[in-house]
Chain A
Amino acid sequence: DAKTTQPPSMDCAEGRAANLPCNHSTISGNEYVYWYRQIHSQGPQYIIHGLKNNETNEMASLIITEDRKSSTLILPHATLRDTAVYYCIDSPSETSGSRLTFGEGTQLTVNP
């Protein structure tokens, strides 16, 4: 499975945009970029995913570079409830059931 690298921690002021970077140096052409987050003591929660194009949903935006070697998750107006560990994952092909390989993630702390 491809490995991603993320900064271990980031801080953001409440109401400001949080931009979380991820490097996908070994991503292959058929692998999606997924973002999940895990709020303390809860199971991981899906945020967004993409293949080549930028994506936006009600939670966040995902910007993927043209070479697909990096991506950025954008939370446009961070709230205190967005404090969580954010995981960037390259999903493997369907032959392995698209299991998720979690790295260390980024601990995002949103400050009042």
Chain B
Amino acid sequence: GAGVSQSPSNKVTEKGKDVELRCDPISGHTALYWYRQSLGQGLEFLIYFQGNSAPDKSGLPSDRFSAERTGGSVSTLTIQRTQQEDSAVYLCASSAQGLAGDEQFFGPGTRLTVL
């Protein structure tokens, strides 16, 4: 079956613009995660969804970052007024139920470049 997909694969934007990144999790997975990977920072957690609610938003770096999930499926990560330090690969993952023993399946990521 299909894995986690993300779009776009690459996004180049100008400083100050808003961007939306999309994640399609594996069908039936209730848990969805956003991470980002930037040079010098490694892989860091951003937000976790269980169904359509986000019980853990503690990794969002500022109020310019927001995310939503609709229908317990697709999620959108929005970055407003992008800054150069937002340049990174944004990774989405899903797992069956978000339990401690669940495997997280990662998408290929969206590479964001802010000029």
Contacts and interface: CB of A to CB of B under 8 A. Distances in A.
Interface of A: 30-32, 38, 42-46, 49, 51, 87, 91-94, 96-105
Interface residues of B, number: 28
A98 B102 contact: yes
A39 B13 CA distance: 26
Interface of B: 4, 31, 33, 35, 42-45, 48, 50, 55-56, 59, 91, 93, 95, 98-109
A44 B106 contact: yes
B50 A100 contact: no
The 9 closest A-B pairs by CB, nearest first: A43-B106, A102-B43, A97-B48, A46-B103, A99-B45, A97-B98, A44-B106, A98-B100, A94-B100
Considering residues B48, B56, B101, which has the most beta carbons from chain A within 10 angstroms of its beta carbon? B101
A92 to B, nearest CB: 8
DSSP majority for the A interface? loop
Given A43-B107, A97-B56, A49 B31 contact: no
B43 A46 contact: no
A30 B100 contact: yes
Given A43-B106, A46-B105, A98 B99 contact: yes
